[in-house]
Structure 1
Amino acid sequence: MKDIAKRFAENPLLSPTDIPASREGLEITCLLNPGVFQFQNKTWLAVRVAERPEQKDNIISFPILTETGEIQIIEISKDDPELIADDARVINYKGTDYLTTLSHLRLLCSDDGRQFYEPENYPSLVGEGILETFGIEDCRVALIEGTYYLTFTSVSDNGVGVGLRTTTDWKNFKKHGMILPAHNKDCAIFEEKINGLFYALHRPSSVDIGGNYIWIASSPDGIHWGNHHCIIRTRKGNWDSKRVGAGAAPIKTDQGWLEIYHGANENHQYCLGAFLMDLNDPSKVIARTEEPIMVPTTQYELSGFFGNVVFTNGHILEPDGDTLTIYYGASDEFVCGAQFSIKEILLLLKNN
């Protein structure tokens, strides 16, 4: 497998010990793949912060949100015969699935794109209401006509869907609720309207017929979505054989809309690839990389809370128009950075 990513020498940029927990009694277990945006001449990250109580011997404990926004701690004996706990991320108890951590989004900024800090007077984004009792995750940010659109995964025992909030100042947010119902995630809105319509990539899932495929949809207002088409499927025997999902907003090039996406195989190895969509009709896929463009390689990508993972949903296009800086989650524990040449990616796509 070919890897063309140029990783930052400073990686990992952020580790769980680098920022404080949101409240006493919780500890940060993971910092995961951030949404990325530019604001006030700085690079900003909307980092997914996953927390849980400090674990006790022979007890699994995890937090959930009540419908009124209070944190409730659930404790279960590891010896309980009704507990299934064979995944670090999810447990099943008495037939109900729970996440082992509770995630919220924390805003951090940087003057150089390498050293990040948490500024004062900017709120964290937390789950609210009955559809977000297990938290919010994996934010993607799109800037459209002066408004930032934040799509994220809303999680509860009702299922996993796509939530939307918008802002212009990152202090006041308009909440639009769940725009794509369960089971759906990985929603990336294009940063430019096409023929007067909003477009977005998303990933509905099915445990029966179908699979974990990338779809595209359009909208008159960025809130109400329809005209859905499946455009990228998994490939049997390949690096993206089990699931695929969109990264951040597609990048407009003279050859088409370029999307960096993640794919996973049956061994839960997550890599990055790319595909190209038609400029006027992005439901038409022009090309797709056969091999991944980034593979878990370094120690911080291979070993962590959930190892063998590189996963991105945020990037910055540098002023030269060719350098793409991505920020990514490594092994579901660290936030890292890397750069690609768009020309190099397009050449790989042309050869395919």
Structure 2
Amino acid sequence: MITVKKEGILLKKTELDFECDGVLNPAVIKDNEKTHLFYRAVAKGNISTIGYCSLLNPLEVQERYEYPILRPEFGYEKHGIEDPRIVKIEDIFYLTYTAYDGINALGALAISRDLTNWKKLGIIVPEITFEEFKYFSEIDKSHDEKYIRFNKFQISHQENTEEVYLWCKNLVFFPRKINNKFYFLIRIKPDVQLVAGIEKIEDLTSQFWNNYFLNFKEHIVLSPKHEHEISYIGCGCPPIETERGWLIIYHGVHDSVEGYVYSACAALLDLDNPGKEISRLPYPLFKPQEKWELKGEVNNVCFPTGAVVEDDTLFIYYGAADQRIAVVSVNISELLDELITYKYLDVEVNNL
């Protein structure tokens, strides 16, 4: 097993109204030698906005705004803007987040050229009802019982189910175009899916998503496999490009006597064909162990959403127990060597 150092808590909630109930799940990006952190800030009533701070170094805050940089403006996000991730593609920053309207939780996008002025492009994931999803399930048998079981809960307490969509969260862009096209990850429980080959955001039409669901099995890139992630998995940090492949830091969830436990996990995807999994760790990269990860708004949670690489060190930023933001560090070369080891083991097993 590789060495992971828990560097401790970076941000805690304050008495400011917009973040008095918690700070968690940050997006992190380094641009022009400055590191920017956009985090989910929770106010009373569980209404989330996006706060901002800059970092002096990976473990020290330089400046922290006393107001949110992004807040709900439209009906599709009226109950909160949650769990941001960020990448820079060419000269534009793409900040994705979960838009929550009180019923539906769906991936949305905002773009900027300067990290200050943002243009919201709205929800870009499928807005598909549960009944529509069941219809596609009957066409494509890859929509087996596990998809129905994990996603039908959203309609169980709603009077008007026509307004209830399949939850599609954890929207994460790859940090560059592949073959001049956008690629991104989404999560429809219990798996992680890939959306590939988009020339422009406007191509994500209803017809596009209808065709996507008709061939849904082809788009599943990661599924629960090991004990620590057996309940379901979800996208974490934006993919990190390495010579070994796309390094994916994601979250895995397993049920326990104390409820769900969220751990940080690692996998490699092929550089040219990100729909191909090369390898993954058969154990958590790190899991809840410290008191501030075990107890909080939601207990037993390590939820990675942002990462930066400094020399040969990977710093991973995560929500700890849904109440605070913490950091771990790991030698990225050591992590890649470990992942490749399990690739070789898979090949050996397959050749027996």
Question: Shorter-chain-normalised TM-score: which range?
Answer: 0.7 to 0.9
Structure 2: stretches of 5+ with no match in the other structure: 127-165, 343-352
Q: CA RMSD of the aligned region, Å?
A: 2.0
Q: CA deviation at 1:108?
A: 0.7
The match for 1:15 among 1, 12, 18 is 12
Query: Secondary structure at the residue paired with 2:293?
Result: helix
**Alpha-carbon distance in 2 for matches of 1:147, 1:312:** 23
Which secondary structure state, in structure 2, belongs to the residue aligned with residue 269 of structure 1? strand
Of 222, 240, 243 in structure 2, the residue corresponding to residue 251 of structure 1 is 240
Cα displacement (A) at 1:122: 8.1
Instruction: Give the whole-Å Cα distance in 1 for the aligned partners of 2:66 and 2:81.
Output: 21
The 5 A counterparts of 1:319-334 are 320=311, 322-334=312-324
Find the aligned partners of 2:202 and 2:100 in 1 and give their Cα distance. Answer: 19
Q: Deviations over 1:53-81 (max 9, x none)?
A: xxxxxxxxx3xxxxxxxxxxxxxxxxxxx
Do the aligned partners of 1:123 and 1:171 also contact (CA within 8 Å) in 2? no
- Pick from 215, 230, 248 the counterpart of residue 193 of structure 2: 215
Percentage identity across paired residues of the two chains: 33
Q: Deviations over 1:306-330 (max 9, x none)?
A: 1211111101111x2x211111111
Question: Separation in 2 of the partners of 1:278 and 1:39?
Answer: 25
What is the alpha-carbon distance in structure 1 between the residues aligned to residue 338 and residue 320 of structure 2? 24
Picking from 34, 40, 50, the partner of 2:42 is: 50
Distance 1:30 1:122, change over 3 A: closer
| TM-score scaled by length of structure 2 | 0.77
Residue 145 in 1 paired to residue 106 in 2?
Answer: no
Residue number in structure 2 paired with 1:301: 293
Distance 2:261 2:238 in 1: 23
**2:334 aligned counterpart, secondary structure:** helix
State the secondary structure of the residue aligned to 1:301: helix
Amino acid at match of 1:230: I
Query: Larger helix proportion, structure 1 or 2?
Result: 2
Gaps of 5+ in 1: 53-61, 63-100, 206-211
For the Cα contact (< 8 Å) 1:4–1:294, is it kept in 2? no
Structure 2 match to 1:66: none
Report the TM-score when normalising by structure 1.
0.77
1:191 match: 175
Q: Which has the higher strand share?
A: 1
**Is 1:168 aligned to 2:119, yes or no?**
no
Which residue in 1 is equivalent to 2:341?
A: 351
Aligned residues: 288
Aligned to 2:302: 310
Find the aligned partners of 1:121 and 1:30 in 2 and give their Cα distance: 14
**2:21–2:43 contact (8 Å) kept in structure 1:** yes
- Asked if 2 retains the 8 angstrom alpha-carbon contact of 1:132 and 1:155, the reply is yes
Deviation by residue 1:273-312 (Cα, 9 ceiling, x = unmatched): 1111111111111111111111111111111121211111
1:241 is aligned to 2:230: yes
> In structure 1, what is the Cα distance between the partners aligned to 2:200 and 2:33?
28
Q: Tell me if the contact between 2:168 and 2:188 (Cα under 8 Å) persists in the aligned partners.
A: yes
Contact kept? 2:221, 2:276, Cα under 8 Å: yes
> Structure 1: how far apart are the matches of 2:292 and 2:65?
29
Q: Structure 1 residue 350: deviation in Å? A: 1.8
Partners of 2:48 and 2:67 lie apart in 1 by 17
Please tell me the residue identity of whatever aligns with 2:254: N
Distance 1:141 1:223 in 2: 19
* Equivalent residue for 1:102, pick from 38, 47, 59: 47
Q: Which region of structure 1 is more displaced relative to structure 2, 163-172 or 337-346?
A: 337-346
> Within 1, Cα distance between the matches of 2:2 and 2:323?
21
Cα 1:312/1:223, change in 2 over 3 Å: farther
Distance in 2 (CA, whole Å) between partners of 1:239 and 1:223 is 38
One-letter code aligned to 2:237: A
Change (3 A) 1:143 1:305: same
Cα separation, 1, equivalents of 2:201 and 2:3: 34
Give the Cα separation in 1 of the matches to 2:201 and 2:52: 23
Aligned counterparts of 2:67 and 2:324: Cα–Cα separation in 1:
22
C-alpha displacement at 1:123, in angstroms? 5.5
CA–CA separation in structure 1 for the residues paired with 2:67 and 2:294 = 33
The aligned runs of 1:57-68 (5 Å cut-off) are 62=45
For residue 283 of structure 2, the aligned residue among 279, 291, 298 is 291
Task: Tell me the amino acid that sits aligned with residue 78 of structure 2.
Answer: T
CA distance in 1, matches of 2:101, 2:58: 33
**Cα separation, 2, equivalents of 1:128 and 1:196:** 32
